[in-house]
Chains A and B, each alone.
Chain A
């Protein structure tokens, strides 16, 4: 299994949609074959269309607020005494997280496809909030599927979704989290694919959804590439790009532009959700060696029992609380281009405390997992090493959990 040069990673799949011959594909009901094919053709055309790219860039710049800033965390660096710690503050993007890129692109595609309705899934509520924002901006009617458990724990984002005029459909099946929301959203699409466009909230799902999302979030690394060059004059000799991984949309977007650098120069480290300290449940299929299985239309490493039932996960961070992971990350793992590790709930909370104590930054629980790894690594590394953490979400949505666990927000 090898990554090819000069071809975007999202295009390195075979004719059946598998990366590395085994990750991804299209495990979908017959009814969705045609809509998925139509979407594949449309997206293939649009991404080559200069006018469409211009439109996308216009909205990214003027509406999303691109580029988001790239800053050095001086105090944290000094406190830890080792590698330099930097942050790409993607949470500055309109709406407060990277999910806005995928949502914007999906709404633009839906418009081109002549669809009037758009539906999406959400875990932390960011994908839902951004989709509702974008839908409102582009004049689409929007429904968001969300697990009942997540609705409770991410109330601020739910309020935002409703304020944008979208309907939240609570999902009561299974674990009542993201995994069930995605299933329910796909079921809805099966029934309404003639009038409705579906936006999968991360780099998961049938092949084309992985591609569209990856293509959209890659904006993050396009910006970062320019910013690093401006800051350092070149790409430094030792760079480590740290990003949390749930479905894997922000990390893929954060890494894509650096894909063909040698990993000794630009290392990718993905941090999954390890769950509560002593719990056996986790949301880290890459770290803990889960088996390959099929979830939501794609084969991937996924938490499951011996017979193939998908296992419930447990994480303080709703955005990472997903039993599977993007096929593209499975490919990056098996080609060893990226390495993956996990942080526990407690480590993420400690990291949140430390970062907010030393810096004027308020990362949500998802990127706090990545900061936990940065805090672990930095003291062991030299000053020449540049650690960059993608601070991909704002903690505003986590205020209830933080208040409960830390006594303050």
Chain B
């Protein structure tokens, strides 16, 4: 079986003895053109890129990502646009893994099979569906696997050990550990040490699974997670776009700068 570009990305990072840097941006933020420009420019530093498709009732997103989402919706970004941004990005960066992230209603309305067809067409490497937990996601995850699209399972501090085992068993090349009880971008209310303790519990169940840590990770805290397989930064980036717009600065160069800074912290 061919090794997925996501697995490959983790492998390369391990060679360099550092965690993978995973960025999160919202499709079409602050507009379609810049959204693609941002992806292209941060691809230099990021190992895996997450791009969210928009939903206007996001029940797990914090303020920063909500701001980005509503800004993009206001500009009229559609699911079709999202796939186009993804496709253009993958054309320019064929080896860089791109993961789409969002809420299930958009997939449901598009039709599961049709949605996956669109993913394939845009060369999307993986999917995170925030509100389709295990075991409800088993059928869809299988469909993804058939199409060689990575379905990323989520684990959280409330997930019991028994449940973890089952989820990890059904997981593909990457697992996402939610660092704390929070929406995205909340203040890190748990000490990194405690988060890493939970993280190592997951690794103990299966050390070969690539597990990334996300939620509340910023320029300040990223260094503490150097020993993990990967770290996700999202709200910090969305916040930078908002800040740039407020100061009439170029969000593309500013975001690129902060992603570079994030990367340097984990080298």
Residue pair B181, A294 in contact (C-beta under 8 Å): no
- Tell me the minimal C-beta distance from A290 to chain B in angstroms: 12
Q: Which one, A54-62, A188-196, A275-283, A393-401, is touching chain B?
A: A188-196
Map CB proximity to B onto A25-40 as digits: 1 under 8 Å, 0 otherwise. Answer: 1111111111100000
Give the nearest-CB partner of A26 in chain B: B136
* CA–CA, A297 and B134, complex, Å: 14
| Residue pair A28, B56 in contact (C-beta under 8 Å) | no
Residues A29 and B60 in contact, CB atoms below 8 Å apart:
yes
Q: Is A183 an interface residue (CB 8 A)?
A: yes
Question: Which residues of A sit under 8 angstroms from B247, Cβ to Cβ?
Answer: none
Residue of B nearest to A29 (CB): B60
Interface check A65, CB cutoff 8 A: no
Interface hits, B231-253 → A, CB 8 Å: none
Per-position binary interface string of chain B over residues 152-167, scored 1 when its CB falls under 8 Å from any chain A CB and 0 otherwise:
0011111110010000
Residues of chain A lying within 8 A (CB to CB) of residue B158: 30-35, 193-194
Complex Cα spacing A297 to B132, Å: 9
Complex CA–CA separation, A155 to B145 (angstroms) = 53
- Chain A binder among B27-35, B93-101, B102-110, B259-267: B102-110
A297 and B110 contacting across the interface, CB-CB below 8 Å? no
Question: Are A174 and B183 within 8 A (Cβ)?
Answer: no
| Bound form: Cα–Cα A191–B178 in Å | 11
Q: Is residue B186 within 8 Å, beta carbon to beta carbon, of the partner chain?
A: yes
Which chain B residues lie closer than 8 Å to A309 at the CB level?
54-56, 73
Q: Is B182 an interface residue (CB 8 A)?
A: yes
Nearest-Cβ distance from residue A184 to partner chain B, whole angstroms? 9
B144 interfacial contact with A, CB 8 Å: no
Partner of A293, one of B73, B108, B157, B160: B108
Question: In the bound complex, how far is the Cα of B121 from the Cα of A233, in angstroms?
Answer: 68
**With the chains together, A306 CA to B55 CA distance in Å?**
12
Contact of A310 among B56, B155, B156 (CB under 8 A): B56
In the complex, A383 has a CB within 8 A of chain B: no
Q: Are A29 and B59 in contact (CB under 8 A)?
A: yes
From 160 to 200 in chain B, residues with beta carbon under 8 angstroms from any chain A beta carbon are 160, 163, 178, 181-183, 186
Complex alpha-carbon distance, A33 and B104, angstroms: 16
Of A29, A174, A179, A183, which contacts B154 at CB under 8 A? A29
A174–B181 CB distance below 8 A: no
Decide if B57 touches A30 in the complex (CB within 8 Å). Answer: no
Cα-based distance from A179 to B55 in the complex (angstroms): 13
A26 to B181, alpha carbons, bound, how many Å? Answer: 18
Q: Is B150 part of the binding interface, using a Cβ–Cβ cutoff of 8 Å?
A: no
Residues of A within 8 A of B51 (CB): none
B131 touches A297 (CB 8 A): yes
- Among B54, B60, B136, point to the contact of A190 (Cβ < 8 A): B60
Closest to B215 in A: A31
Q: Is B61 at the interface (CB under 8 A from chain A)?
A: yes
Question: Beyond A296-B59, A308-B105, is A31–B131 a contact (Cβ under 8 Å)?
Answer: no
Contact residues in A for B79 (Cβ distance below 8 Å): 307-308
Contact with B along A90-120 (1 / 0, CB 8 A): 0000000000000000000000000000000
Q: Are A190 and B103 in contact (CB under 8 A)?
A: no
Identity of the chain A residue whose Cβ is nearest the Cβ of B108 in the assembled complex: A294
Shortest CB-to-CB span from B190 to chain A, Å, is 11
A291 at the interface (CB under 8 A from B): yes
**Across the interface, do A191 and B59 meet the contact criterion of CB distance under 8 Å?**
no
Q: For the complex, what is the distance from the CA of A183 to the CA of B56, rounded to whole Å?
A: 10
Digit string of A321-341 for contact with B (CB within 8 Å is 1, else 0)?
A: 000000000000000000000
Residues of B contacting A30 in the complex (Cβ-Cβ under 8 angstroms): 133-134, 154-156, 158-159, 178
What's the dominant secondary structure at chain B's contact region? loop
Chain A residues positioned under 8 Å from B52 (CB to CB): none
Q: Which chain A residues in 289-316 approach chain B with CB under 8 Å? A: 291, 293-297, 299, 304, 306-310
Contacts of B182 in A (CB 8 A): 190-191
Distance A192 CA – B62 CA, assembled complex (angstroms) = 13
Asked if residues A190 and B183 are in contact (CB atoms below 8 Å), the reply is yes
Question: In whole angstroms, how far apart are the Cα atoms of A122 and B61 in the complex?
Answer: 20
Query: What A residues does B258 contact at CB under 8 A?
Result: none
Return the contact of A191 from the options B55, B66, B110, B181 (Cβ within 8 A): B181
Give the shortest distance, in Å, between B210 (CB) and chain A (any CB): 17
A186 at the interface (CB under 8 A from B): yes
Closest residue of chain A to B177 (Cβ to Cβ) is: A30
Given A27-B131, A30-B133, A33-B158, CB of A294 within 8 Å of CB of B56: no
A173 sits at the interface (CB 8 A): yes
Return the contact of A307 from the options B58, B60, B109 (Cβ within 8 A). B109
Which single member of A28, A180, A194 contacts B133 (CB below 8 Å)?
Answer: A28
Q: Which of B32-76 contact A (CB under 8 A)?
A: 54-62, 66, 70, 73
Residues B4-38 near A (CB distance < 8 A): none
Q: Which of chain A's residues have a CB closer than 8 A to the CB of B132?
A: 27
Instruction: Name the B residues within 8 Å of A191 (CB-CB).
Output: 181-183, 186
When distances are taken between beta carbons in the complex, the residues of chain B under 8 Å from A299 are 108
Closest B residue to A194 by CB, please name it. Answer: B181
Beyond A304-B109, A307-B79, is A193–B181 a contact (Cβ under 8 Å)? yes
Question: Do the beta carbons of B109 and A293 come within 8 Å of each other?
Answer: yes
Q: Which residues of B contact A193 (CB under 8 A)?
A: 158, 181
Kindly supply a per-residue 1/0 record for chain B positions 95-139, scoring 1 wherever the CB is within 8 Å of any chain A CB and 0 otherwise.
000000001111011100000000000000000001111101000
A-B contact pairs, 8 of them (CB 8 A): A27-B131, A34-B159, A179-B57, A190-B182, A293-B108, A294-B104, A306-B109, A308-B105
Given contacts A27-B136, A293-B108, 20 further A-B contacts (CB under 8 A): A28-B131, A28-B133, A29-B130, A29-B131, A29-B133, A30-B158, A30-B159, A31-B158, A33-B156, A33-B163, A187-B60, A187-B183, A190-B181, A191-B182, A293-B105, A294-B103, A304-B105, A306-B109, A308-B106, A310-B56
The residues of A with any CB-CB pair to B shorter than 8 Å are 16, 25-35, 173-174, 179-180, 183, 186-187, 190-194, 291, 293-297, 299, 304, 306-310
* Closest A-B pairs by Cβ, 4 of them: A308-B109, A34-B158, A31-B156, A294-B105
